[in-house]
Amino acid sequence: MIRRPEPCRNFQRGSCQYGDRCKFLHTQPQTRSNPFGFGSQSSSRFSQTSQQPKPNTFGFGVQDATQLSGVNNFGARNQNPSKLFENKWIRPTATTNSTSSQETVTQKQAAVHECTDPESCKRQIIEDLKNEAPLWKLTCYGHWKYLPCDIVGDISYEELRANAYEDAKRGLPLQSIVERERSLWNSKVAEFDNLVRSPYVIRNSGPTAVNQFSISSNTLTVSPLSNKPPTFSSFSQLGTSASVAPIMSSGSQISGTPSNTVFIQPSFPKNKSQISGGSEMKFGAFGTVGGQLPMQQFGSSPGPSNSGRTNGTFVGEPPLQQFGSSPRPSKSNITNGFMAMGSEQAPLHSIPQFFSSSNQSSGSLDGPKAVQSASNQAAAGDKQDIGADDTIWLKEWDIGEIPEEEPPERVCLDINY
Amino acid sequence: MSGAPPSGSGRELANPPSDGISNLRFSNHSDHLLVSSWDKSVRLYDASANVLKGEFMHGGPVLDCCFHDDSSGFSASADFTVRRYVFSSGKEDILGRHDAPVRCVEYSYAAGQVITGSWDKTLKCWDPRGASGPEHTLVGTYLQPERVYSLSLVGHRLVVATAGRHVNVYDLRNMSQPEQRRESSLKYQTRCVRCYPNGTGFALSSVEGRVAMEFFDLSETSQSKKYAFKCHRKSEAGRDTVYPVNAIAFHPIYGTFATGGCDGFVNVWDGNNKKRLYQYSKYPSSIAALSFSKDGRLLAVASSYTFEEGDIPHEQDAIYLRNINEVEVKPKPKAIPAAAPL
């Protein structure tokens, strides 16, 4: 194969998807950073799995290092060609991380992935989400298999169903339930979109965006969010900030998930009612799953204007929609299920505001949450406290049960386990 | 039922629950099948005779059930309670409560305890011999990083899979802290975890149409054997529709396992040789649960829409019982002549 006499940039970074076919030279990268740091978590767990670059037949966890061809590993990638599987199995072997190749040195479990190269992580994320987007969207996601999630706040279909049953028992009209679910769905999808859009962010750099919020919460801004403010700016501030600020603290910890952390933010007033059906939603949260608390509700009382706050509709949807307006420009996703109701618009009766806001924000949900949380928990201050623990704390997901404990406690609590 | 699958799917169980099925289990001593459902009932069937033997009601949808011995069992419900039943006398009582819907229940013969996992992020252990009431029966509460989605036991090991892709492995003899804390090796939400019958590891499935095979032993040699594979996907026009894998069940004798997904298919895999052994014909609805009988001759398949696409019209929920042929579940080792008589 003819190669141009230049070293291949991808290969220098750790992996090149073209492998032998590549037009550029695959010389050993000169600069290798050997990050060990990040990987520590994983390595600590599996301390022994050393992966030698070759080895394992089934490579799971082995670093593909050396070359990981490209981002997609999903297909049998393993360096050991022999063995393998004969049939049908497509082995995904794990993540392809370009950076990991450098790690081979450490022999740690493949997990030593430090995410030092946002580009490759981003590629990985994009590949994953494009080719393997699962049918069920309310899921968490981690781009590197042993690392904590990039997008947290997953909900299982049983939880959604149990909440819906509860709500129905309480007399909530089916339409509102569906609306709520739909909003959740949309906001989650928006979160994923956001992740794809913004490059992988190494843990937090600070909230920046948060400040924009200034949402009712006062302090919310604290949340360090590393997110990429720029992306957010496109959406209404709120929206973006929301995403950005994973609401407080949460964002930062979660490795860069751009906004999502917010999604989970617990701050909801603990409504045992689970699905917030109309209950207080203080934050408009659906009650359900903490999701999206339309923040709008919160400060702004939605009003069509979302003026900046409410999210600019994430993803470009017309901000409005506030009450009454049809919730959400239908996203294709929605059609999937939740639509069943057929009533797209969902008059939103019981939860008018909440839902509507949510709709809009669906994207921005993240933002609102944060806001709320701030208000809620007064967290603003709290939130900030969360430091490294945030991730755990943030991950907490309450369906309609927002813990009211002070964040710090919660954090401590989590640590204990 | 509409669109009944051809008889190749097995015979249908009579008197199924009226709403979705959350889990089903065969007894370790006979062909009794315990089924928990969203219609708030727990039903006991005699699978061979195809007869309903008993029904118990809860206050809310029942999310999981398990046998204690052939005459009694436990169930976990969304009404936050864990109940125990004595089938012969029809008696039931509440063993204990959680602060949120209880998602999983298991009984450990090794420890003589009932273990439950809930969406309140805790794991609780109960002593079933105690009188009713949490003060008598609760042995311990263990906080988890997130809501518990699935549990599995083998020997003295317990594996807990929670939201946020956490996996904790406990030693039942020392529950004060997990023996291992891991993140799932899959990238998306975990659906189900099941331990291998030989106790060396566990299989984890997720919503992204993948199953990961993991091992408890942290040594390099063992960890090098772990892998993951894709399954339950439908390829059309270059894109895959990726279905969640809801259920995993191990064959008690051969150690091969079946997986069931939202695509309505049940596949049987040989984990050691990394092959698929068989695929059963498509069921009318998503597979919510699977269970092999104790002798491995029957497989109960719960074909019950799991609401992964929200509230849409769906096929009737039903339970099918298949008679298993050896060829479907027996591993075929890499060929050595004269091996594997079939």
How would you classify residue B264: left for phi > 0, otherwise alpha for psi between -120 and 50, otherwise beta? left
Tokens of B252: 């008690």
ipTM of the complex: 0.85
Two tokens, residue A253: 């910890």
Q: Count Cβ atoms below 10 Å from residue A343 Cβ, excluding itself.
A: 17
DSSP state of A4: E
Query: What is the predicted pLDDT for the residue at A51?
Result: 37
Q: How far is CA A284 from CA A267, A277, A370, A376, B260, in A?
A: 11, 9, 12, 11, 37
DSSP category for residue A115: -
Residues 18-47 on A with a CB inside 8 Å of B are 41-42, 45-47
A404 has a pLDDT exceeding 90 = no
| A210 lies within 8 A of chain B by CB | no
> What would the mean pLDDT of B181-202 be, rounded to a whole number?
91
Partner A contacted by B18 (CB < 8 A): no
**Least-confidence region, from A6-10, A36-40, B40-44, B274-278:** A36-40
Residues 307-366 of A with CB under 8 A from B: 336-341
B120-139 pLDDT per residue, tens = 999 999 988 866 655 678 88
- Residues with Cβ within 8 Å of A190's Cβ and at least 6 positions away in sequence, in order, are A314, A315, A362, A363, A364, A365
How many residues does this entry show for chain A?
Answer: 417
Residues B221-239 have a mean pLDDT of: 86
More confident site: B168 or A116: B168
C-alpha span between A357 and A368 (Å, rounded): 9
Q: CA A245 to CA A204: how far, in whole Å?
A: 10
Contact between chains at B242 and A132 (C-beta distance less than 8 A): yes
**Phi then psi dihedrals of residue A381, to 5 deg:** -70, -45
Q: Is the pLDDT of residue B253 over 80?
A: yes
pLDDT computed for residue B73 by the predictor: 92
Q: Which string of DSSP letters, residue by residue, matches B195-222?
A: E-TTSSEEEEEETTSEEEEEES--SHHH
pLDDT tens digits, one per residue of A149-192: 777 778 888 888 888 888 888 888 888 888 888 888 888 888 88
The answer on pLDDT for A379 being more than 50 is no
pLDDT attached to residue B282: 92
Q: Which residue has the tokens 């799932």?
A: B184
Chain A positions touching B38 (Cβ under 8 A) are 161, 165
Note whether A191 and A263 are within 8 A (CB).
yes
Contact residues for B217 (Cβ-Cβ < 8 A; gap 6+): B200, B201, B223
Residue A232: closest CA among A153, A316, A325, A293: A316
pLDDT given at position B120: 93
Distances B50 to A106, B13, B138 between C-alpha atoms, Å: 58, 6, 36
Q: Considering all CA atoms of chain A, what is the largest pairwise distance in Å, rounded to the nearest integer?
A: 71
Residue in chain B closest to A91 (alpha carbons) equals: B229
First-to-last alpha carbon distance for chain A, in angstroms, is 55
Q: How many residue contacts between A and B have a Cβ separation below 8 Å? A: 223
Find residues 173-192 of chain B whose CB sits inside 8 Å of chain A: 177-178, 180-189, 191
Distance of alpha carbon B174 from alpha carbon B156, whole angstroms: 10
* A16: exposed, middle or buried (Cβ count in 10 Å: 0-12, 13-18, 19+): buried
* CA A347 from centroid of its chain's CA atoms: 29
Tell which B residues from 108 to 167 touch A, by Cβ distance under 8 Å.
119-121, 142-147, 149, 163-165
Judge whether residue A369 has pLDDT over 60.
no
3-state secondary structure of A333: helix
pTM > 0.80: yes or no: no
Residue type, A123: R
Does A87 contact B at CB distance below 8 Å? yes
Residues of B in contact with A189 (CB under 8 A): none
Residue B144 pLDDT > 50: yes
Per the CB < 8 A criterion, the answer to whether B314 and B6 are in contact is no
Per-residue pLDDT band for B171 (boundaries 50, 70, 90) equals very high
Residue range A209-220: mean pLDDT, rounded:
36
Most confidently predicted of A106-115, A195-204, A300-309, B115-124 = B115-124
C-alpha torsion sign, points A165, A167, A171, A177: negative
- Name the range with the highest mean pLDDT among A314-328, A390-404, B94-108: B94-108
Nearest CA in chain B to A402: B120
Report pLDDT digits (tens) over B304-328. Answer: 888 888 778 888 899 999 999 888 8
Q: In this complex, do B307 and A160 lie within 8 Å of one another by their Cβ atoms?
A: yes
Helices (H), A74-156: 98-103, 118-131
Residues of B (19-78) whose Cβ lies below 8 Å from A: 20, 22, 38, 60-61, 63, 78
Q: What is the pLDDT of residue A204?
A: 39
Mean pLDDT over the full length of chain A: 50
Decide if A134 and B310 are in contact by the 8 Å CB cutoff: no
Which residues, in sequence order, are CB contacts of B250 under 8 Å at separation 6+?
B194, B195, B196, B197, B203, B256, B257, B292
Mean pLDDT of A236-260: 37
Cα separation, B139 vs B122, whole angstroms:
13
Residue A215 has pLDDT above 60, yes or no: no
pLDDT score of A275 more than 60: no
Token representation of residue A207: 């909230």
What strand order describes the sheet that includes B210-215? B190-195, B201-206, B210-215, B227-230
Residues with Cβ within 8 Å of B174's Cβ and at least 6 positions away in sequence, in order, are none
Query: By the 8 A CB rule, do B310 and A337 touch?
Result: yes
* Chain B residues within an 8 Å CB radius of A143: 187
Integer Rg of chain A from CA: 22
On chain B, the residues whose CB falls within 8 A of the CB of A91 are: 227-230, 274
Would an 8 Å CB–CB cutoff place A181 in contact with chain B?
yes
Closest partner residue to B310 (CB to CB) among A57, A87, A337 is A337
B126, β-bridge pairs: B114, B138
Distance of alpha carbon A65 from alpha carbon A61, whole angstroms: 10
Asked if A98 and A117 touch (Cβ cutoff 8 Å), the reply is yes
Question: With bands split at pLDDT 50, 70 and 90, how would you rate the model's confidence at A399?
Answer: low
> Which of B238, B235, B217, B239 has its CA nearest to residue B226?
B217
Residue B300: other Cβ atoms inside 10 A: 25
Instruction: Give the span between the Cα atoms of A252 and A243, in whole angstroms.
Output: 11
Identify the helix (H) or strand (E) that includes residue A387: none
- Cβ within 8 Å of A, B 262-291: 262, 274-276
Residue A38 has pLDDT above 90, yes or no: no
Q: How far apart are the C-alpha atoms of A158 and A161, rounded to whole Å?
A: 5
In the predicted structure, residue B276 carries a pLDDT above the cut 80 = yes
In this predicted structure, the answer to whether residue B300 has a pLDDT above a threshold of 70 is: yes
Going by C-alpha positions, the residue among A326, A394, A337 that lies closest to residue A366 is A394
Q: Which residue of A has its CA nearest to B275?
A: A87
Nearest Cα of chain B lies from the Cα of A338 at a distance, in angstroms, of 5
B285 contacts in chain A (CB < 8 Å): none
Does B241 lie at the interface with A, CB-CB under 8 angstroms? yes
pLDDT at position B229 is 92
| Window from A145-149, A350-354, B66-70, B128-132 with minimum mean pLDDT | A350-354
Query: In the prediction, which pLDDT does B39 show?
Result: 92
Q: Which amino acid is at A218?
A: N
Record the tokens describing residue A344, joined without a space.
């797209």
Does B22 have pLDDT greater than 90? Answer: yes
Nearest CA in chain B to A84: B274
Nearest to A64 by CA among A78, A76, A74: A78
Identify the H or E element spanning B184: none
Task: Indicate if the pLDDT at residue B35 is higher than 90.
Answer: yes
* Record: contact B101-A162, CB cut-off 8 A: yes
Between CA B17 and CA A61 the distance in angstroms is 42
A354 has pLDDT over 60:
no
Question: Which residues on adjacent β-strands are paired with residue B169?
Answer: B159, B180
B311 vs A140: CB contact, 8 Å cut-off? no
Determine, for residues B188 and A134 on separate chains, whether the beta-carbon distance falls below 8 Å.
yes
What average pLDDT does the structure give for chain B? 88
Residue from the list A47, A161, A414 with its beta carbon closest to the beta carbon of B218 = A47
- How large is the average pLDDT for residues A316-341? 38
Alpha-carbon torsion, ordered B82, B86, B92, B97, to 10 deg: -10
The pLDDT tens digits of the residues spanning B73-89 come to 999 999 999 999 998 88
- Match 């042993």 to its residue by tokens: A146
Nearest residue of A to residue B103, measured between CA atoms = A158
pLDDT of residue A200: 53
pLDDT at B237 over 80: no
CB contact under 8 A, B313 and A148: no
Q: Is the pLDDT of residue B201 over 80?
A: yes
Residue of chain B whose alpha carbon sits nearest to that of A136 = B308
B 68-97 residues with CB below 8 A of A? 78
From edge to edge, which strands make up the β-sheet containing B148-154? B148-154, B157-162, B166-171, B180-183
At residue B267, the pLDDT reads 94
